[in-house]
Amino acid sequence: MLVNKRFGKVLKLIFVFIAIGAVYFVVESVRSKNDYTSLSVSQYRDYLKSHIDTGNGDNTNLNKEDRVVDEKLQKFYSSVFQNIIDHSPSGKCRRVYKDACKLTQDVGNRPDDYENWFKLSYNELINCLELDLGEVQTLSSSHASFIDELNKLVLPRDSYKGDGIVMVGGGKFSLMAFLVIKTLRNLGTTLPVEVFIPPNDEGETEFCNKLLPKFNSKCVYISDILPQQMIEKFEFKGYQFKSIAIIASSFENLLLLDADNFPIKPLDNIFEAEPYKTTGLVMWPDFWRRTTQPLYYKIAGRTVDFKTRVRNSIDDLTPPHIYTKNLMNLKDVPFHDLLGTIPDVSTESGQLLINKSKHLGTVLLALYYNVNGPTWYYPIFSQKAAGEGDKETFIAAANFYDLPFYQVKTNVGVDGYHLANGKGYRGVAMLQHDFIQDYSKYMDASKRISQKYAKVGLNYDPKYTVENFYKEYFEDEEINKEVDIMFIHSNLPKFDPYTLWQDEDLIVDGKHIRSFTNLKRLKNYDIELENFKIFNDILCQDDKKPLFKYLEDKMNANDFRHMCQYIGNRLDFLNESHNEAIGNSK
Ligand SMILES: *[C@@H]1O[C@H](CO)[C@@H](O)[C@H](O)[C@H]1NC(C)=O
Ligand SMILES: *[C@@H]1O[C@H](CO)[C@@H](O)[C@H](O)[C@H]1NC(C)=O
């Protein structure tokens, strides 16, 4: 019953969201009928504004019908943001943790962390971030009233169109987004790309108007979408813009990609593949198990069934009888193994696939969590865990609405190198896997597991471990070949030529070194060499034009010459060591 009611709400929400998209689509269609490459940024924005603010600027290109839709959508659009402003909780989290809180370090998903899993029970997790009764009440009433208001909004359909890739640029991220776009094109992906430019990073004229259009890509200015009032009220940070970009993008189906995240497989088929087709939301795992404060469920009004265990960390296939001694006593079981909770492991949101028609509720509620993230929801979702940010907001929102999703099971990998003098290993990138191959292993596991327990029966098995489940169904290469890497999320150091040059990172005793050392795992895609080729091509040719604002802002001609010397040297090194790097990979 509850689900049906929720589903009804979701349907309403879907209309609401379609409308948001339609505003953008109308603007886009106006824009695409004009040669905006010759406009300056401010002209271009004023031009757009005349359509967004009044809906009756130079509308000669719009037919009557479009104009009606345009006005309705604008109205809807501003209601969404107004609702966020009206129903955001005031104040902010004190970020005080109780002395009894046992979350002193991140809790992983592998055997060396099994002894820490007791820290994930309801009784332990609730003993961490302090939220008093008044705070919980404020959060919960604003959450409820926001959801109610969303349900009242009604909008026209068919606004979001097509499939594409969405990134947030600005500053050094514009250059990094360009590297990603070049990588996509070099490896055969033709999907269009929208790069969102945050309000404080405007002025990317050459990049937006000249460079991107050559690669079936374009900029979208967030200040054209976000009301000024909202920009001033909330001091948005990079990852908060990601959830705005999802809503504002013209695409119905999109891959949201961090600007430092390189897809190394062709992606044109991803929206046609399972499990995307059925779920409309695919996410990727982080290293850590979930540590969300149980009070979140009280705040959101989301029921948790304390009597029903439905999984053991990532294993939601093996029947709970097999790994639970006493199903009547679940008080020491990790809280997020219980029915109704957000599943493990925690999410790494450097990449995410979403169908906005199916998941409009998710998109809008995630926006709410992100707008109120630094003040409240980020610490509530993560409770001290590494990388607090937008990462859990999408899965939490989908879970709230009982909407389907799939999170990749294959553990996140790493690439990196050994530091000189035995100072340890430095990870430079998270490697995320092909969700299509991963899902086919999952389906295969599902079949084999039901066959197995049909034979042996449902008795407690003391030998069961999550690791054995993982090894048997996801790592057994004899049965199923290793899942490909799909994304290289190159967290640190970033592919920013300015910082690399200034910091002399990746130079040891005057010599360049490679930071990616397992190219074979990356299907021999030499990411460092390819990116330095691009730096050399776009920044260091004689006919160089100012392309990236952040570089122009801080460098003179002499600086450029020095940086290009560095780029040339490193490119030579990477070129010369290419064959060896491939051959020596294990
Ligand atoms: C996205 O969701 C809509 C609504 O459920 C559905 O009609 C459409 O086929 C989906 N698109 C893809 C590519 O799965
Ligand atoms: C290395 O540089 C040479 C000369 O420019 C070029 O022909 C060769 O293709 C480069 N090697 C790689 C792996 O890019």
| Residue 39 lies in domain | 1-91+135-157
Nearest ligand 1 atom, CA 271:
13
The best mutation among 253, 267, 355 to test binding of ligand 1, ranked by most ligand atoms within 8 Å of the C-beta, falls on 355
pLDDT (tens digit, 9 = 90+) per residue, 262-282?
999 999 999 999 999 999 999
Strands in 261-263's sheet, in edge-to-edge order, are 261-263, 485-489, 425-433, 413-418
Q: How far is the CA of 539 from the centre of ligand 2 (A)?
A: 19
CA dist., res. 550 & res. 392, Å (int)? 30
CA dist., res. 111 & res. 116, Å (int)? 10
Question: Are residues 495 and 176 in contact, defined by beta-carbon separation less than 8 angstroms?
Answer: yes
CA dist., res. 125 & res. 132, Å (int)? 15
358 Cβ below 6 A of ligand 1? yes
For residue 203, is it within any domain?
no
Tokens 């967004």: give the residue. Answer: 52
Domain boundary among 109, 125, 157: 157
For residue 560, is it within any domain?
yes
pLDDT band of residue 39 (cuts 50, 70, 90) is very low
| Token pair recorded at residue 150 | 């969303």
Looking at residue 339, what is its pLDDT?
Answer: 98
Q: How far is the CA of 575 from the centre of ligand 2 (A)?
A: 6
Looking at residue 421, what is its pLDDT?
Answer: 83
Nearest ligand 2 atom, CA 575:
1
Looking at residue 157, what is its pLDDT?
Answer: 61
CA dist., res. 268 & res. 188, Å (int)? 8
Looking at residue 222, what is its pLDDT?
Answer: 86
pLDDT band of residue 407 (cuts 50, 70, 90) is very high
**Per-residue burial over 52-76, b = 16 or more CB atoms within 10 Å of its CB, e = otherwise:** beebebebeebeeebeebbebbbeb
277 Cβ below 6 A of ligand 1? yes
pLDDT (tens digit, 9 = 90+) per residue, 437-489?
999 999 999 999 999 998 888 899 999 999 999 999 998 777 668 999 999 99
For residue 45, is it within any domain?
yes
User: Count of domains in the chain?
Assistant: 2
pTM value is 0.87
Averaged pLDDT, 237-241: 84
Give the least confident one: 93-107, 234-248, 324-338, 491-505: 234-248
For residue 36, is it within any domain?
yes
Domain boundary among 157, 188, 206: 157
pLDDT band of residue 586 (cuts 50, 70, 90) is very low
Q: Percentage of the chain with pLDDT > 90?
A: 72
Q: How far is the CA of 355 from the centre of ligand 1 (A)?
A: 6
pLDDT (tens digit, 9 = 90+) per residue, 409-435?
999 999 999 998 888 999 999 999 999
- pLDDT over threshold 80, residue 7: no
Bond prior to 428 in cis (omega within 30° of 0): no
What is the separation of C-alpha 4 from the centre of its chain, rounded to a whole number of angstroms? 29
The count of other CB atoms within 10 Å of the CB of residue 544 is 12
Looking at residue 227, what is its pLDDT?
Answer: 76
Looking at residue 376, what is its pLDDT?
Answer: 97
Looking at residue 241, what is its pLDDT?
Answer: 92
CA dist., res. 85 & res. 82, Å (int)? 5
Averaged pLDDT, 377-400: 94
| Token pair recorded at residue 332 | 């020491």
Looking at residue 104, what is its pLDDT?
Answer: 92
For residue 33, is it within any domain?
yes
For residue 163, is it within any domain?
no
For residue 76, is it within any domain?
yes
How many Å is the maximal CA-CA distance in the chain? 75
For residue 35, is it within any domain?
yes
CA dist., res. 363 & res. 246, Å (int)? 7
DSSP state at residue 377? I
Nearest ligand 1 atom, CA 355:
1
Backbone angles phi, psi at 396, to 5 degrees: -65, -40
The dihedral region occupied by 91, where left means phi > 0, alpha psi between -120 and 50, and beta the remainder, is left
- pLDDT over threshold 60, residue 200: yes
